[in-house]
Amino acid sequence: MLSLRLETVAERVSESMPETNRQMEELLQLASQLGEDLHTLSHRLHSSTLEGLGIVAGVGSFCKEFNSQHGTQVAFSHHNVPPSVSPEVALCLFRIVQEGLRNVQKHSGAANAKVRLEMLNGNLHLSLSDDGAGFNVKDGEARQGLGLCSMRERARLVDGRFEIHSEKENGTRIDVWTPIELKSGEIRSEPVDDAAAVSVAPASRGLG
């Protein structure tokens, strides 16, 4: 997204401004390098933490790191999570936790958050809640701005179900249900209909 926006700006810069064009080209190269570095880091996080330690240890480790770096206190709990979880599913849930907690820190103003992993009705259930400002889940702009589309898409690609519950001044809760194992042929590569994959509803209280 950063590269695309830089390209759009570069196209609007007049050719009579060679120095500005040179600087724009440098920024595009830096953005490209940043993308490659992030891809490498993402692979390292997945390989070392999730494959080596498992989804529970991976999520727990991230929650502890988040606690030490930010003001929001995150309570992590888990119950009956199997030791072996499909790598695709583990990565999906790990990324949703990362994105969700970053949203809490950036947007909600919450003092506390909870992350829970558990087996529920044959599926692996992730719950992430906070006691922050909350928002109107029917507001399309809010959904885009808070990175919810990314989390929703991650869940869909592993045949998961994604729900978000929130009200202004009443916190936010994200729920994701995924299968434990996912065969390679079952991994979706194309988006599916939103109505079949996403539910939105108000919450009585984010940490309730």
Q: Is residue 54 predicted with pLDDT exceeding 80?
A: yes
Q: Do 143 and 188 lie in a common domain?
A: yes
In a domain, residue 49? The reply is yes
The pLDDT assigned to 128 comes to: 97
Average pLDDT over residues 185-199: 38
Query: Higher model confidence: residue 174 or residue 188?
Result: 174
Q: Is residue 192 predicted with pLDDT exceeding 70?
A: no
Q: State what percent of residues in the chain have pLDDT above 70.
A: 78
Q: pLDDT tens for residues 93-109?
A: 998 998 899 888 888 88
CA-CA distances (angstroms) from residue 54 to 15, 116, 188? 53, 15, 23
Q: Do 31 and 70 lie in a common domain?
A: no
In a domain, residue 208? The reply is no
Domain of residue 46: give its range.
1-53
Helix H or strand E encompassing 32: helix 18-45
Give me the amino acid identity at 63: C
Domain count, the chain: 2
Alpha carbon distance 138, 126 (integer Å)? 22
Give me the sheet containing 161-166, strands edge to edge. 73-79, 112-120, 123-130, 172-178, 161-166, 198-201
Q: pLDDT tens for residues 40-53?
A: 676 556 546 677 77
